Amino acid sequence: MSRSNADPEDCAATATAAAPDDALRSRIVAATFGLLMERGYAGASTREIARRAKISKRELYALFDSKDGVLSAMIGARAARMRQPLALPEAGDRGALAETLKRFGIALLREGSSPEVVALIRLAVAEAERAPELAHRLDADGRRPTRAALADFLSRAGARGLIAGADAETMAAQFLALLWADLQLGLLLRLAEPPSPEAAERRAAAAVAALLALYPERVSRGR
């Protein structure tokens, strides 16, 4: 068995150096979000972000190449948490498929209904014409990768015969429609509250049951 050549002291120093960077990133993200809410996309300059985060612009650019870079990291991190359940081991049967989809649905509802995400979407809608960059970031770093991960998961399940009847992109779109229905619009219009953990679980379970009722297992010719 080979041994690692890494020096324990070097590893400890790396971990110590990484911790301040993580704290600094969190301060920058918090400052950016606060400015977006107060001044909109155009008003959230890198100079003001650095001032709010109590750092220099040089420090900001050492971690993020631009204001869009901060937004991309902010949105991407939350979207990655939404997709995390899809990274579990491959489903071997319909029960495991349903459980993974339910966990994904719960994560999506939890993250997507958070006040921070809803506030960003409201801002993106309000500034869609004069500052479309925020909407583009939400789409490129949030919506599209999440939908693509779901479609890929369903495609792999389809290849194993666990679900059939339509292409994976169609099934992914239908699952998301079943999951959200009019909840997101209600949140944006302040007509609804984020679902409780129990309500999110019920909603996700109902969406999974509806999707699997539409698309049964593939029946082989030998049956």
Q: What confidence score (pLDDT) does residue 20 get?
A: 62
Same domain (yes/no): 52, 133: no
**Domain stop point among 32, 64, 96:** 64
pLDDT at 11 over 50: no
pLDDT at 16 over 80: no
Q: What confidence score (pLDDT) does residue 90 get?
A: 82
Same domain (yes/no): 50, 70: no
Domain assignment of residue 171, given as a range:
66-223
**Residues 47-57 pLDDT 10s:** 999 999 999 99
**Residues 17-52 pLDDT 10s:** 445 678 899 899 999 999 999 999 888 999 999 999
190 dihedral zone (left: phi>0; alpha: psi -120 to 50; beta): left
Section 60-88 average pLDDT? 90
**Domain stop point among 43, 64, 85:** 64
pLDDT at 147 over 80: yes
Same domain (yes/no): 102, 182: yes
Domain of 117: which CATH number?
Answer: 1.10.357.10
Same domain (yes/no): 40, 127: no
The values of phi and psi at residue 128, to 5°, are -60, -35
pTM above 0.85, yes or no: no
Same domain (yes/no): 168, 192: yes
pLDDT at 1 over 50: no
Same domain (yes/no): 144, 173: yes
Domain of 47: which CATH number?
Answer: 1.10.10.60
